[in-house]
Amino acid sequence: MPLDEAAARVLASSSSMGSLITIAKHGSLPGRLNAVLAIKEAVSRDGAFVDLADDKIVDALLVIIKALIRLQAAMVATYHLASSDERVAARSVSEKALVVLDAMHASEKGRASARGHALAMPVLVKKMFRVSDVATKLCRRHRSLGSVKGGAGETARTVRRKPTVGTGRLDRLDDAMEKFKHMIDIGVPLDTAVYGCLIQGQCNRGDLVKAKELISDMLSKGIPPPCIKFFTSIINNLCKEGRVAEGKDIVDLIIHTGQRPNLITFNSLVDGYCLVGNMKEAVGLLDSMESVGVEPDIYTYNTLVDGYCKHGRIDDALTLFRDMLHKRVTLTSVSYNIILHGLFQARRTVVAKEMFHEMIESGMAVSIHTYATVLGGLCRNNCTDEANMLLEKLFSMNVKFDILTFNIVIRAMFKVGRMQEAKELFAAISTYGLVPTILTYRVMITNLIKEESFEDADNLFSSMEKSGCTPDSCILNEIIRMLLNKGEIAKAGHYLSKIDKKGILPEATTTSLLIYLFSVNGKYREYIKLLPEKYRFLREQTAVDNCI
């Protein structure tokens, strides 16, 4: 396996296939397994030579499927039998299952079995607008389980048809609604699963009127509505897409079912409003929560404080943070990390330091991420002496640093001109049992170039490669751009060669800079010969420009 054409011809002959069928039905367990694999291989080949209408093959496969022996191979073979001479290897598992289901309906026994199974119709409805256009067309054919005709041959013709142009998931929702109405007409029992699938589709489409009608319909029939978790999941997805207003409208659907939105529901909405910058609506949800008896938790408040900080409203963030203390909300290190980061970003350094001391005095355990936030903030705001004091204090306390902390502090040290200390800190990483990451090297190398310590930058890059840390496109392109802007054309050419060896393409900004610097009026056009040969096309472009 797999077979070539000659072997397939022999295997598919009447005598060979007869032997395989006999083994598949009556042989030993290993023999039956191998026989099914052989049948699968023969019938699933392009241009197979097997008589696909042979009932003996179908019977043998049916025995195997019922016995759950080598089920996948048997199902694949069944699929190809069901789809006749249409062999499409890329069909999804769901499509294959639907094709097999269609083939089942070719017999009265199969139709009776489908009618007697409570999940048959729900599966068709659910898969109709979730799988593909082929599946949708296949499901459309099953207008009634009592009148299915044609079986495998008709399935093949359906699969072979070209999908309708423009058909999408929302179009399939309409097909599902059509099937749903047909189910009602023929008296098929409906349940929460069927209604839930359609309600979700209408909510995602934004048609809450139809979603509400479906809920009213199921309630009138005594069918239990979807649970609160179901609606909260839809709200969460809508909020992540920025469709927060639609998410909030679904709360009305929850109430319409006789249920009450819970804490997770409201937190999803708070997160969504903060994401889109609508802090008025986000904070207003606190009153809505109180009105239905839902108590905000620390996640609710943390999200609101973070939202204020990210949108430049640091005073509002501070006010809310103080309110949390007055309401005796149990703060966490995450709560302090959020407000400290916001204060340092807003250059409210004095307040940030006071807040950090409050945190320590409260007896709360200070995490390494909090130390990293404070150290980085102090350095960015030119409080490097205090940053160094804190760093030394941490070293003496034997606090276990992670590499993220080192990256933050090294970057901050460079930013405020403490180059030597940054180098020393980098050299100390290994003494703590840590290994520099690609980000650590990027911070170091780019800052060394910025300080025009080109030799040190080259040496560190070589050390990075020797350590097994592979340079990526980001660091290489950034190095090239910085060297070009510094006028170090030969060195930039050296790193361009590295990009070529790795098969990496220069980023758009790198290419644009090359064209700008080496064009006819370019600053460095006379040094173009220092670049690798493949980049000297710019010289030819210059000649063309001169002629024009």
- Please tell me the predicted confidence (pLDDT) of residue 267: 95
CA dihedral 136, 142, 145, 151 (to 10 degrees): -110
Provide the 3-class DSSP secondary structure of residue 318: helix
Q: In the predicted model, what is the mean pLDDT of the chain? A: 77
CA distance 268 to 247: 9
Whether the per-residue pLDDT at 406 is higher than 90: the answer is: no
Secondary structure (DSSP) of 23-34: HHHHS-HHHHHH
Q: Which helix (H) or strand (E) holds 17?
A: helix 14-26
Give the pLDDT confidence score for residue 147 in this predicted structure: 40
User: What gap in Å lies between CA 193 and CA 191, rounded to an integer?
Assistant: 5
Per-residue pLDDT at 535: 78
**Residue found by looking up tokens 């940030």 in the block:** 352
Can you tell me the mean pLDDT for 403-423?
Answer: 84
Instruction: Kindly give the residue spans of alpha helices, DSSP state H, lying in 130-207.
Output: 133-141, 151-160, 169-185, 192-205
pLDDT tens for residues 492-548? 999 999 998 888 888 989 988 888 888 767 778 788 888 888 777 655 544 444 444
Q: What is the pLDDT of residues 21-43, one digit of tens each?
A: 777 767 776 676 677 677 766 66
Smallest CA-to-CA distance from 243 within 210, 206, 277, 280 is with 206
Strands (DSSP E) contained in 357-487 are: none
Could you report the per-residue pLDDT of 463-477, keeping only the tens digit for each?
999 999 999 999 999
CA nearest 232: which of 209, 253, 217, 213? 253
pLDDT in tens, 305-355: 999 999 999 999 999 999 998 888 889 999 999 999 999 999 999 999 999
**What's the pLDDT tens digit per position in 267-291?**
999 999 999 999 999 999 999 999 8
Quick check: 91 and 57 in contact, CB under 8 A?
no
User: Has residue 109 got a pLDDT over 50?
Assistant: yes
Please, which pLDDT band fits residue 75 given cuts at 50, 70 and 90?
low
pTM of the entire predicted model:
0.59
Phi, psi of 365 (to 5 degrees): -65, 125
What lies within 8 Å, CB to CB, of 219 at 6+ separation is: 225, 257, 258
Tell me the C-alpha distance between 376 and 337, whole Å.
Answer: 12
Residue with tokens 């098929």: 188
Kindly indicate the confidence band of residue 4, based on its pLDDT and cuts at 50, 70 and 90: low
pLDDT digits 0-9 by tens, 426-435: 998 988 889 9
Domain ranges for the chain: 471-547
State the average pLDDT over residues 128-134.
Answer: 48
- Burial environment of residue 229 by CB neighbours within 10 A (0 to 12, 13 to 18, 19 or more): exposed
CA distances (Å), origin 415, targets 61, 93, 108, 369, 418 = 71, 55, 79, 20, 8
Q: Where are the alpha helices (DSSP H) in 467-547?
A: 473-485, 489-501, 508-518, 537-547
Is the Cα dihedral 315, 317, 318, 319 positive or negative? positive
